[in-house]
Amino acid sequence: LHNILAFTVALARQAGTLILEGSEVIQSHSEESNVGEKKNSVDLVTEYDVRVEKLVQDRLKQQYPTFKFIGEESYSAGKRDPLTNEPTFCVDPIDGTTNFVHGFPFACISLGLIYERRPVLGVIYNPFLGHLYTGIKGHGSFLTRAGSDEPRRLPLSKNPKPLPSLNQAVIGVEWGSDRCETTMNAKSTSFARLAGDPEKGVVGGKMAHSLRSMGSAALNYSMVAQGGMDMYWEIGCWPWDVCAGIVIAEEAGGLVTGSHEVFEATKNTDQFGVVTEEILTGRKYLVIRGVGGTKDENGREAQKRLIE
Ligand code: IPD
Ligand code: CA
Ligand code: CA
Ligand code: CA
């Protein structure tokens, strides 16, 4: 796995260069800066999403010809490797396409490896800020900042902060691109409950310090792993949004609930997409709750209580 990590880190940095080039083109608002739509007018895609995925897929196939590949853009185009117990790369070429299109510098490549239906390796690289997050199951997760070649173990604080209660927490949430009424009602109610004034009775005695939307699921996971956010909660992520992030967050001591089902539910079928969609439309939550001495049982219990 350490060799695969070295290879995928170099590849993520190469993909990062193409993402930065693409950003220049898109931000030029010239004729070349085409922005398309997928399922609705807020589900954006650019030729760079497709180009970055092709670059990454080609290089991975060359280096690891027997490994399977699942990526957002090839998956949407109907080219789907079924999820089996075999090693499978799970890639989001640009996570945070809306940010990419708007010039908001929170977008990344998210590159994960699944083995026996468990995410085992993750690389998340934000080329705009030069932040590289990596993790290998059982071997910790790390952040390497721009201009440094020294990975720092996550969470960054050597002295983890005590588990905050909900009303001292900063919580990541996302609007996503599913804007149907049911989802909007669920999200706006939940956001108000997390941030609302307890005096006005939104949720008894609890009012989070604040909510944040970073516009990238992978970067939300990374920020919880780093310790900058206490929790991230979203309805409706796809496997490529969360695969690398699961490893990075869990290795930092975070607790991930909901996300694993995306990988485990399919067992021996080739129904990966169908089951994923069922999970998403079944409105299962993706919650991670991070850092702070949480590898021990007591910490995990406390996390569970906080999530509930
Ligand atoms: C999206 C982003 C967004 C999240 C959505 C994802 P994309 O991915 O991660 O923050 O809210 O659920 O689909 O389309 O930018 O790769
Ligand atoms: Ca997308
Ligand atoms: Ca994504
Ligand atoms: Ca994407």
pLDDT tens per residue, range 241-298: 989 999 999 898 887 876 666 666 544 444 444 444 444 444 444 556 554 444 445 5
pLDDT at 100: 98
Ligand 1 atom closest to Cα of residue 219: 9
72 is catalytic: yes
Residue 87 pLDDT > 80: yes
pLDDT at 289: 56
Ligand 1 atom closest to Cα of residue 99: 15
Q: Which of 8, 46, 88, 97 is catalytic?
A: 97
Confidence of residue 19 (pLDDT cuts 50, 70, 90): very high
92 is catalytic: yes
Phi, psi values for residue 257, rounded to 5°: -125, 145
Least confident of 43-57, 106-120, 225-239: 225-239
Ligand 1 neighbourhood includes 241 CB (under 6 angstroms) = yes
pLDDT at 274: 45
Q: Domain coordinates of the chain in residue numbers? A: 2-153, 166-307
Confidence of residue 117 (pLDDT cuts 50, 70, 90): confident
Ligand 1 atom closest to Cα of residue 94: 16
pLDDT at 83: 80
Ligand 1 neighbourhood includes 237 CB (under 6 angstroms) = yes
Residue 28 pLDDT > 50: yes
Residue 25 pLDDT > 80: yes
* Over residues 52-77, mean pLDDT: 95
pLDDT tens per residue, range 122-167: 999 999 999 999 999 999 999 999 999 899 999 887 666 666 667 7
Q: Compute, in angstroms, the gap from residue 99 CA to the centroid of ligand 3.
A: 11
Is-same-fold flag (2-153; 166-307)? Answer: no
More confident residue, 229 or 87: 87
Average pLDDT of the chain, as a whole number = 82
Q: Is 203:142 a contact under the CB 8 Å cutoff?
A: no
More confident residue, 118 or 297: 118
Distance CA 199, CA 253 (A): 34
Ligand 1 neighbourhood includes 215 CB (under 6 angstroms) = yes
Q: Compute, in angstroms, the gap from residue 157 CA to the centroid of ligand 4.
A: 30
pLDDT at 68: 94
- 89: nearest Cα among 172, 187, 5: 5
Residue 217 pLDDT > 60: yes
Q: Which of 237, 243, 276, 288 to mutate to test the pocket of ligand 1 (most atoms within 8 A of CB)?
A: 237
* Over residues 55-81, mean pLDDT: 93
Q: Which of 95, 174, 234, 250 is catalytic?
A: 95
Q: Is 132:263 a contact under the CB 8 Å cutoff?
A: no
Q: Compute, in angstroms, the gap from residue 93 CA to the centroid of ligand 4.
A: 6
Q: Which of 73, 92, 230, 234 is catalytic?
A: 92
pLDDT at 295: 46
Structure tokens at 70: 């699942």
More confident residue, 17 or 228: 17
150 is catalytic: no
Ligand 1 atom closest to Cα of residue 240: 16
Ligand 1 neighbourhood includes 176 CB (under 6 angstroms) = yes
Superfamily of chain region 2-153: Fructose-1,6-Bisphosphatase, subunit A, domain 1 (3.30.540.10)
Ordered strands of the 88-95 beta sheet: 68-71, 88-95, 108-115, 118-126, 131-136, 141-144, 152-153
Confidence of residue 220 (pLDDT cuts 50, 70, 90): very high
pLDDT tens per residue, range 184-207: 887 787 777 777 765 654 454 567
Q: Compute, in angstroms, the gap from residue 49 CA to the centroid of ligand 4.
A: 7
Distance CA 207, CA 212 (A): 14
Q: Which fold has domain 166-307?
A: D-Maltodextrin-Binding Protein; domain 2 (3.40.190)
98 is catalytic: no
Phi, psi values for residue 198, rounded to 5°: -60, -30
Ligand 1 neighbourhood includes 239 CB (under 6 angstroms) = no
Least confident of 15-19, 111-115, 145-149, 227-231: 227-231
